[in-house]
Amino acid sequence: MKKFFITANWKLNGNIKMISSFFERLKLYSSVFLEKNIVIIAPPTIYLERVYKNIKNMNIFLGAQNVDINLQGAFTGETSALMLQDIGVKYVIIGHSERRLLHHETNDLISKKFHLIKELNLIPILCIGETERDKKNGQTQKIIKAQLNCIFKKLGKSVFNNTIIAYEPIWAIGTGLSADPKDVQLIHQFIKNYIKKHDKINTNDILVQYGGSINHTNVKKFIEQPDINGLLIGNSSLSLQEFLKIIKIAHDII
Ligand code: PEP
């Protein structure tokens, strides 16, 4: 059965009350909606364990929004991949544009994180994508190649198995301006072909999510594209009602 990967990126949002009410209500729907979808919830680090307790008996996985490049030691304020693994995290988002832009994370740093995550048998969700300016200048493919090349350079070939790539055009994140699903399909095809050229992986095993202003009114056309294997969702994952609508639409189409 085809699986569709839906990741909720809560960013710096949520609190104890919101988490209780979110999962209390989600439990009522889980058996109906979650069988074909792989649902991953990535709350802020401080709430990871709380979310883990809530999803324990549900078919939902825990994701982290970031990780440090060190496993332990004198690195005040950081969280390591070992710690994430220790508390039940399975997926780790890296390279999100908010970290690239606001925290000056480079392709090189992101490739170090990718390496560590793989070493510990966690699953990276590697975010890539172009700015509005890159798009206007026809640079989308060039930017994506550079973001992928860095991973190949650090890790060699055969690295994209058991990995999720999230194509997130930066101009579409949190703006209400989602990309055109047909354009996204072409970019996902490009990403898969590019990876296939360098990696021995089977094309069907390359998983690419789309992220950028997804909601229940625009999601259908994205899910219908053959090379969109899932979604990375910010704002719309904070409202359980909206998130469930998206999951249900995916469930009905897949
Ligand atoms: C994101 O943060 O990765 C994202 C896609 O956000 P939004 O859905 O709010 O555009």
Element containing residue 192 per DSSP (H, E): helix 181-198
What's the pLDDT score for residue 32? 64
Sequence ranges of the binding site for substrate: 9-11, 174, 213
What's the rounded mean pLDDT across residues 151-157? 84
Which residue has its alpha carbon closest to ligand 1 atom 4? 234
The number of folded domains in the chain is: 1
**Token duo for residue 174:** 């949190």
pLDDT tens-place string over residues 30-56: 766 677 789 999 999 999 999 999 998
Range of the domain at 226: 4-253
The enclosing domain of 134 has a CATH number of 3.20.20.70
Tell me the CA–centroid distance for residue 29 and ligand 1, in Å.
24
Yes or no: say if 123 and 161 are a contact pair by the CB < 8 Å rule.
Answer: no
**Region 184-198 average pLDDT:** 96
Which among 35, 96, 105, 132 is annotated as catalytic?
A: 96
Any residues with Cβ below 6 Å from ligand 1, and which?
A: 9, 168, 173-174, 211-214, 232-236
Residue nearest to atom 1 of ligand 1 (CA): 234
Of 22-36, 210-224, 240-254, the least confident:
22-36
For residues 140 and 47, give the distance between their C-alpha atoms in angstroms, rounded to a whole number.
Answer: 35
* Band of pLDDT at residue 246, cut at 50, 70 and 90: very high
- Two tokens, residue 16: 């104890």
Say what the pTM is. 0.96
96 tagged catalytic: yes
83 Cβ contact list (under 8 Å, min separation 6): none
pLDDT tens digits for range 101-146: 999 999 999 999 999 999 999 999 999 999 999 999 999 999 999 9
